[in-house]
Amino acid sequence: MGEIMSGNRLQGALPKIGIRPVIDGRRKGVRESLEARTMEMARSAARLLSENLRHISGEKVECVIADTCIGGFAESARAAEKFSREGAMASLTVTPCWCYGSETMDMDPLRPKAVWGFNGTERPGAVYLAASLAGHAQKGLPAFGIYGRDVQDADDTSIPPDVRAKLLQFGRAAVAVAAMRGKSYLGMGGVSMGIAGSIVNPDFLESHLGMSYEGIDMSEFIRRIEEGIYDKEEYARALAWVKKSCIEGADYNATPLSKDKKEKDWEFIVKMAMIGRDLMIGNPALEMLGFGEEALGHNAIAAGFQGQRQWTDHFPNGDFLETMLTTSFDWNGIRQPFIVATENDFLNGIAMLWGHLLTGTAQIFSDVRTCWSPEAVKRVSGIALSGDAQDGVIHLINSGATCLDGTGGQSRDGKPVMKPFWEITPGDVDACLRMARFCPADYGYFRGGGFSTTFETTGGMPVTMSRVNWVKGLGPVLQIAEGRTVDLPATIGAKIMDRTNPTWPTTWFAPRLTGKGAFREVYSVMNSWGANHGAVSFGHIGADLITLASMLRIPVYMHNVPEERIFRPAAWNSFGTSDLEGADFRACANYGPLYGLE
């Protein structure tokens, strides 16, 4: 389990960031005096981005710097050609001086772009920034403006903290946008129990995200199991690992499952997990078995499994499949987690995908089940809530599955965390497994059997819950709630969990309240949530989600992110500066979907 497996497992090269050093084109003294300083600014930006950003597959993000400074159309065209050739799917323009705005712009409409104008007095880099951003606005090409708060000396090559923060915020979101393009969402099954989020909308995927929709019938799992379309050697290794590592929990069924039934269910669901992975990304081992088509997979960066009810009324449920794929490790070692949405709720799956793209961490899929006020908790348990939970909690619980990273078993500096897979240690893996139990499935819900994942998330972790919703006539909208996981006394937690299902994974979530709007109180957060599911990511990543959403032209209608952390394209200011939420809606409607296919 000490091995960490990294590498791009999807088709298509990893996106790069193009760096465009732009310069005053006047020769015979002016340009020559600025060449070294301008190119060094580009190199320092590239170093910052490459040293701090990683792809979800673990590799560091590469930057491509234009071969020369860009003083006009010809050099701009050369840079564009190089970026196209080398896979730069986002661009950052940098300059310490005045340049010719519309002649030096990045004109690619699909490439997220930012402009960093040096704040100095000797040369007017800030003036170019303003002129360039005005040109972008006139031409309908939203660009992010980056301008340091404090004036720097001309020979100061350092990157101030505020500029650094914006460069990295732009870079994280831009790489996430580029990573989705050309990939697919794989629906394994169809609509689960009438849940609207599992009615997959191909137009949304294509026009807003640059993705495709691939759909299969769940009978494909049966075909592959019965025809032996899976790696038998891996299966034997996986089953042995599961028997050794996955601790069985209590059987709460009125008639407990027999030992024989449980053995058969384990064998079946391990095969399901392997097949689900193979469907998403393919498996070269299948080619060796004579299944060349199946070996290719669907190039799926995210997927969903319908499960209920057509599958689970007869076959073992998909809880183990969903848990193990979304976890950052399995029988093969520590590896990048997959994104798999319970009940094929693709809208929540997309929110999970965004959280993963921005952080590299596994994502928790949850029902946004119940708001427990302090008064209700006191009535039921006789105990008063305190600490982060004092204003109440939202009970996040999924019907049998979520990532084992969500236990909070991983640690950094003695604190519970969810790490990107390249930081996870064997000790972290062991801790997560110790904290989880795999209980025989509740036959009231899952007549076909299987095993559900059971744990309580450790309190004290900063987390962000998000959700994409679709509103007819409006389109996609995003909501965000930053907060913390909390520990409840065992006597409280047990009483509450017994009211729902003790075999399912629980996260107690305390959103950060602001005293106004949807964040007046915990109840108003719950009452304003747009659907029955939420995606939970480690860390307070609301600002990055807002930046990402603005690149995709998807408005955010509910969040508790402080205003000073919000970073959107400069043109958004033209749609209003006193009501940022309303301005976001107007700007997104004006520009339309990034890929313009609606």
Hey, where are the domains in the chain? Answer: 15-180, 184-591
Runs of H (alpha helix) within 210-318: 219-226, 232-245, 259-281, 284-288, 292-296
| Angle at 40 (CA atoms; ends 36, 45), nearest 5 degrees | 155
- Tell me which fold the domain 15-180 belongs to: Rossmann fold (3.40.50)
C-alpha closest to that of 214 among 184, 190, 182, 179: 184
Q: Check pLDDT > 90 for residue 496.
A: no
Q: Distance between the two ends of the chain, CA-based, in angstroms? A: 46
89 Cβ neighbours under 8 A, 6+ residues apart? 15, 16, 17, 111, 112, 174, 177, 178, 181
In sequence order, what are the residues at sequence separation of 6 or more whose Cβ sits closer than 8 angstroms to the Cβ of residue 431? Answer: 407, 409, 410, 411
Q: Is the per-residue pLDDT at 297 higher than 80? A: yes
Residue 184, burial from CB neighbour count under 10 angstroms (0-12, 13-18, 19+): buried
Question: Model confidence over 336-392: pLDDT tens digits?
Answer: 999 999 999 999 999 999 999 999 999 999 999 999 999 999 998 889 999 999 999
Bridge partners of residue 558, in order along the sequence: 479
pTM for the structure as a whole: 0.97
Kindly state the percentage of the chain with pLDDT values over 90: 91
Give the C-alpha separation, 389 to 508, whole Å. Answer: 9
Nearest in space to 165 (alpha carbons), one of 52, 47, 38, 65: 52
Q: What is the pLDDT of residue 597?
A: 61
pLDDT, tens digit, 9 for 90 and up, residues 58-113: 999 999 999 999 999 999 999 999 999 999 999 999 999 989 989 999 999 999 99
Digit-coded pLDDT (tens) for 14-67: 999 999 999 998 999 999 999 999 999 999 999 999 999 999 999 999 999 999
Taken in order 404, 405, 406, 411, is the CA torsion positive or negative? positive
Q: Compute and round to an integer the Cα radius of gyration of the chain.
A: 25
Residue 103 — φ and ψ, nearest 5°?
-85, -15
pLDDT at 440: 96
Residues 6+ apart with CB under 8 A from 493: 456, 506, 508
Q: Under DSSP, is residue 223 helix (H, G, I), strand (E, B) or coil?
A: helix
Q: Residue 143's closest CA among 572, 583, 527?
A: 572
Average pLDDT across the chain, whole number: 95
Closest CA to 185 of 165, 199, 171: 199
Q: What is the pLDDT of residue 141?
A: 97
When pLDDT is cut at 50, 70 and 90, the band that residue 520 belongs to is very high
Contact 185, 199 (CB under 8 A): no
Residue 325 has pLDDT above 70, yes or no: yes
Residue 159, pLDDT above cutoff 80: yes
Q: For position 307, what pLDDT does the model report?
A: 95
Question: Could you tell me the CATH superfamily of domain 184-591?
Answer: L-fucose/L-arabinose isomerase, C-terminal (3.20.14.10)
Q: Is the pLDDT of residue 1 over 60?
A: no
Quickly state the pLDDT bin for 272 (edges 50, 70, 90).
very high
The reply to whether 15-180 and 184-591 are identical in fold is: no
Cβ-count burial 509-532 (b if 16+ within 10 Å, e if not): bbbbbeeeebbebbebbbeebbbb
Q: What is the DSSP string of 323-336?
A: HHHHSSEETTEEEP
Residue 104: φ, ψ to 5°: -120, 10
Which whole number is the average pLDDT over 209-221? 97
User: Within a 10 A sphere around the Cβ of 233, how many other Cβ atoms?
Assistant: 8
Provide the residue type at 465 as one letter: M
Write the pLDDT tens digit of every residue in 463-481: 999 999 999 999 999 999 9
Check residue 273 and give its pLDDT. Answer: 98
Alpha helices in 98-256 (DSSP H): 125-138, 161-180, 202-209, 219-226, 232-245
Say yes or no to pLDDT of 262 above 80: yes
- Rounded to whole angstroms, how far apart are CA atoms 208 and 181? 10
Read off φ and ψ for residue 486, nearest 5 degrees.
-130, 155
Identify any residues that bridge with 143 across adjacent strands, giving them in sequence order: none
pLDDT greater than 90 at residue 499: no
d(CA 566, CA 250): 46
What pLDDT score does 124 carry?
Answer: 72
Q: Is the bond preceding residue 309 a cis peptide, omega within 30 degrees? A: yes
Angle at 544 between CA 542 and CA 550, to 5 degrees: 105
Task: Report strand pairing: 300-305 vs 340-342.
Answer: parallel
pLDDT for the residue 42: 97
Residue 2 reports pLDDT greater than 60: no
pLDDT classification of 413: cutoffs 50, 70, 90: very high
**Do 330 and 277 meet the contact criterion of CB atoms below 8 Å apart?**
no
- Write the pLDDT tens digit of every residue in 361-377: 999 999 999 999 999 99
Catalytic residues: 343, 367
